C-alpha cells in the first residue's frame, strides 16, 4: 500500500479508502490510485485484514472423505453458496477418525476462519460447542442437532430407511438384509432404525425379519464376498438387501451375480444416495435420493447468517425420497 500511495502521490489512508470506501474518494484521485495499484502489482493482504478485525474470507469444511461423492457434492454446495461472498472453502477429511477431526478443527480455528461446517463423526459434540462459544461459528451437517446450541442441517435418515423398507414390504418381502459399513457411521445406523420401524409397523418381529451384514466402505472384493455369503447363508434366506450406499450396492450387485443370483428375480437390492451411475447400472438401481448439494448450500447459508446480529440457531431437515427402478421386484416365492 505504501508503494501504491507513493506512485499515486497520495497517502496510504487514501489508498485504504479507495479499497474500502471508494465513494469517499474524488473520482480523479480514485483513478490515479487504481492505476498505481495495477502498476505496482498490488495484492490485498488478507491475513493483515483479519488481524485488523475484518471477518475472514475462509470457511472450514470438515467431512468424512472429500473423495466420497456424497461429501464432494455437499462441498460443491458449500463452495457455490460461499462464492457470492468471495469466500473460499478450507477442506479436511476425517477418515472416520475422531482424533483427526479434532486436529482439523483445531487447525481451522487457528486460521481464524469465518466459521466451520462439520459432518461430525465424533459423537461427542462438546468440543464443537466450545469452539462456537469461543467465537468460531459451527454448523452441523448430516447430523441431528440434538440439544446442542448450534445450527444444523440434515436429511431425515430414519425416514430414508423407512422408505426403503416400506417399498420392499409393499412388494411382499418379509425377510430383508441390511448391509452397513464395517464401522459405525451414525447416519447408517439411523437408517437402520427406520428400517426397523417399518418392519415393526408391518407387524413383523425385527429379529425374524432383519439380517445384519457389514462390509467396509473401501470395499475389498473379499469383504463383499463375505457379506454376500453371510446374507445367503441366513436361514431363511432374505429376499432383499438394503445397502448403506450406492457404491456398496454396486459391490453387492456384483457379488450376487458372482454367486449366480439374478437381480431382482432372485434378490432385490436397494441402494442409498442416488449417485449418477445408479440409473445406469443393469439393472438400474432402486435407491434413496438425498439432496446433497442443497445440504451443503443450506449449511453455508446458515453459517453466513451466524454473523448477523440477533441470529438464533436453527435446524433444517431435508426429506429423502425413494427412487424406484428395476433392482427391486416381488420375491420369487410369490411368483
The footprint of its own copies (CB under 8 A) covers 41, 43-48, 50-51, 56-58, 65-67, 69, 72-73, 75-76, 79, 86, 88-93, 104, 106-112, 130, 134, 219, 247, 250-251, 253-254, 257, 276-277, 280-282
Question: In the set 36, 37, 39, 44, which binds DNA (CB under 7 A)?
Answer: 44
What grid cell was written down for 170? 409393499
Give which of 62, 96, 63, 72 is closest to 216, Cα–Cα: 96
Minimum gap (Å) between residue 131 Cβ and DNA: 16
Q: Whole-number minimum distance, CB 50 to its own copies, in Å? A: 5
Interacting partner of 53 out of DNA, its own copies, none (Cβ under 5 to 8 A depending on kind): DNA
CB of 55 to DNA, least distance (A): 10
Choosing from 6, 7, 40, 49, the residue that interacts with DNA (CB under 7 A) is: 49
For residue 270, give the 3-state DSSP assignment. strand
Of 16, 221, 265, 324, the one binding DNA by CB under 7 A: 16
Q: Is 37 in the site for DNA (CB under 7 A)?
A: no
CB-nearer residue toward DNA: 40 or 225: 40
Residue 260 three-state SS:
coil
Q: What is the DSSP letter of 261?
A: -
**Per rule CB under 7 A, is residue 200 in the interface with DNA?**
no
> If contact means CB under 5 to 8 A according to the sort of partner, which of DNA, its own copies, none does residue 72 touch?
its own copies
Please report which helix (H) or strand (E) contains residue 61, including its range. strand 58-63
Q: Considering only residues 38, 41, 53, 218, which one is a binding residue for DNA as defined by CB under 7 A?
A: 53
Residues in contact with 62: Cβ distance below 8 Å, sequence separation at least 6, in sequence order: 91, 92, 93, 94, 101, 104, 105, 108, 116, 117, 118, 119, 120
Q: Cell match 438387501: residue?
A: 241
When the beta carbons of 11 and 193 are compared against DNA, the nearer one is 11
240 touches which of its own copies, DNA, none (CB within 5 to 8 A by kind)?
none
- Go through the chain and tell me how many residues it has: 335
User: Contact 142/207 with Cβ under 8 angstroms?
Assistant: no
Residue 307, interface with DNA (CB under 7 A)? no
Rounded to whole angstroms, what are the CA distances from 256 to 33, 252, 265?
70, 6, 12
Asked if 19 is part of the footprint of DNA (rule: CB under 7 A), the reply reads: yes
Least Cβ distance, residue 165 to its own copies (angstroms)? 25
**How far, in whole angstroms, is CA 171 from its chain's centroid?**
31
Nearest to 157 by CA among 268, 279, 244, 72: 244
3-class DSSP state for residue 139? strand
Residues found near DNA in the complex (CB under 7 A):
1, 9-14, 16-17, 19-21, 24-26, 28-29, 44-45, 48-49, 51-54
Amino acid at each position: 500500500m505504501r508503494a501504491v500511495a507513493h506512485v499515486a502521490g497520495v497517502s496510504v489512508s487514501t489508498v485504504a479508502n479507495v479499497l474500502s470506501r471508494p465513494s469517499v474518494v474524488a473520482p480523479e484521485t480514485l483513478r490515479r490510485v487504481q492505476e498505481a495499484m495495477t502498476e505496482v502489482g498490488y495484492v490485498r493482504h488478507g491475513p493483515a485484514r483479519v488481524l485488523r478485525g475484518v471477518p475472514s474470507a475462509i470457511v472450514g469444511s470438515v467431512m468424512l472423505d472429500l473423495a466420497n461423492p456424497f461429501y464432494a457434492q455437499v462441498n460443491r454446495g458449500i463452495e457455490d453458496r460461499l462464492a457470492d461472498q468471495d469466500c473460499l472453502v478450507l477442506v479436511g477429511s476425517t477418515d472416520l477418525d475422531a482424533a483427526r477431526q479434532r486436529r482439523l478443527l483445531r487447525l481451522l480455528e487457528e486460521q481464524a476462519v469465518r466459521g466451520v461446517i462439520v459432518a461430525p463423526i465424533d459423537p461427542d459434540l462438546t468440543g464443537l460447542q466450545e469452539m462456537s462459544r469461543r467465537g468460531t461459528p459451527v454448523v452441523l451437517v448430516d447430523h441431528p442437532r440434538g440439544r446442542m446450541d448450534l445450527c444444523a442441517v440434515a436429511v431425515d435418515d430414519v425416514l430414508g430407511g423407512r422408505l426403503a423398507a416400506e417399498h420392499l414390504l409393499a412388494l411382499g418381502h418379509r425377510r430383508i438384509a441390511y448391509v452397513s459399513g464395517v464401522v459405525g457411521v451414525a447416519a447408517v445406523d439411523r437408517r437402520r432404525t427406520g428400517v426397523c420401524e417399518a418392519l415393526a409397523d408391518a407387524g413383523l418381529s425385527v429379529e425374524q425379519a432383519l439380517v445384519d451384514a457389514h462390509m467396509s466402505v473401501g470395499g475389498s472384493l473379499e469383504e463383499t464376498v463375505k457379506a454376500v455369503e453371510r446374507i445367503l447363508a441366513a436361514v431363511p434366506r432374505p429376499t432383499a438387501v438394503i445397502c448403506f450406499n450406492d457404491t456398496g450396492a454396486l459391490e453387492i450387485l456384483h457379488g450376487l451375480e458372482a454367486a449366480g443370483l439374478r437381480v431382482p428375480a432372485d434378490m432385490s437390492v436397494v441402494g442409498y444416495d442416488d449417485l449418477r451411475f445408479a440409473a445406469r447400472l443393469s439393472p438400474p438401481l432402486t435407491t434413496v435420493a438425498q439432496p446433497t448439494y442443497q445440504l451443503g448450500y443450506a449449511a453455508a447459508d446458515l453459517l453466513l447468517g451466524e454473523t448477523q446480529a440477533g441470529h438464533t440457531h436453527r435446524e433444517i431437515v431435508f426429506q429423502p425420497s425413494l427412487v424406484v427402478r428395476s433392482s427391486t421386484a416381488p420375491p420369487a416365492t410369490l411368483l
